[in-house]
């Protein structure tokens, strides 16, 4: 069964709306995680300059312009939020929980960005695939950094002086 370009375009619009909402939810969650975390490295990894969330939102706007249609908006309240509260000790245990919450958001974004990338290729959009690919790489880099932080936490290592990035 062959699907027409209009159907793919509509799906891409919906995905872009979801991504914009997820980026906004991520920005708020990362700010909260930074306040709750014990590890300075986790604070640095989730700083807005490191995650590139503002750049991601800017790229989504550019893609919206390229497809020339209104992107369906998703209310941030409709996004499944990550439970950042955690009973138990403060410190490394909590940081591992917070890292898992950040990873959960990142993995949701990566999955949607990859589908949006494939659709933009199918639609032969000239700029969107490059913008989406860059955003995928940035999210994957943040995910890798968080994986390394989790391992360092488990090993009892902290490499950035405490308080430097809060």
Domain edges within the chain: 18-74+85-155
d(CA 116, CA 113): 5
The CATH code of the domain at 18-74+85-155 is 1.20.1260.10
CA distances in angstroms from 140 to 60, 87, 108, 137, listed in the order given:
17, 29, 11, 5
Using one digit for the tens of pLDDT, what is the confidence trace for 140-153?
999 999 999 999 99
pLDDT of residue 38: 86
CB 67 within 8 A of CB 125: yes
| Residue 38 neighbours by CB under 8 Å, 6+ apart | 90, 91, 92, 94, 95
For 131, the token pair is 């913008």
What pTM value is reported for the model?
A: 0.86
| DSSP structure class, residue 28 | H
pLDDT of residue 149: 94
d(CA 143, CA 151): 13
CB 144 within 8 A of CB 102: no
Instruction: Give pLDDT < 50 ranges for the chain.
Output: 166
Q: Calculate the dihedral angle through the C-alpha atoms of 28, 31, 35, 37, rounding to the nearest 10 degrees.
A: 100
pLDDT of residue 82: 58
d(CA 22, CA 120): 19
């Amino acid at each position: 069964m062959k699907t027409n370009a209009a159907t793919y375009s509509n799906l891409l619009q919906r995905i872009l709306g979801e991504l914009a909402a997820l980026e906004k939810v991520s920005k708020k969650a990362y700010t909260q995680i930074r306040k709750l975390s014990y590890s300075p490295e986790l604070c640095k990894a989730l700083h807005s300059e490191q995650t590139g969330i503002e750049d991601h939102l800017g790229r989504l706007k550019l893609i919206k312009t390229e497809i020339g249609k209104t992107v369906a908006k998703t209310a941030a309240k409709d996004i499944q939020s990550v439970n950042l509260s955690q009973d138990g000790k403060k410190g490394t245990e909590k940081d591992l929980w917070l890292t898992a919450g950040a990873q959960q958001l990142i993995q949701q974004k990566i999955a949607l960005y990859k589908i949006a990338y494939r659709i933009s290729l199918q639609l032969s959009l000239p700029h969107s695939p490059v913008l989406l690919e860059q955003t995928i790489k940035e999210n994957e880099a943040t995910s890798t950094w968080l994986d390394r932080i989790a391992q360092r936490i488990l090993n009892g290592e902290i490499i950035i002086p405490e308080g430097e990035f809060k």
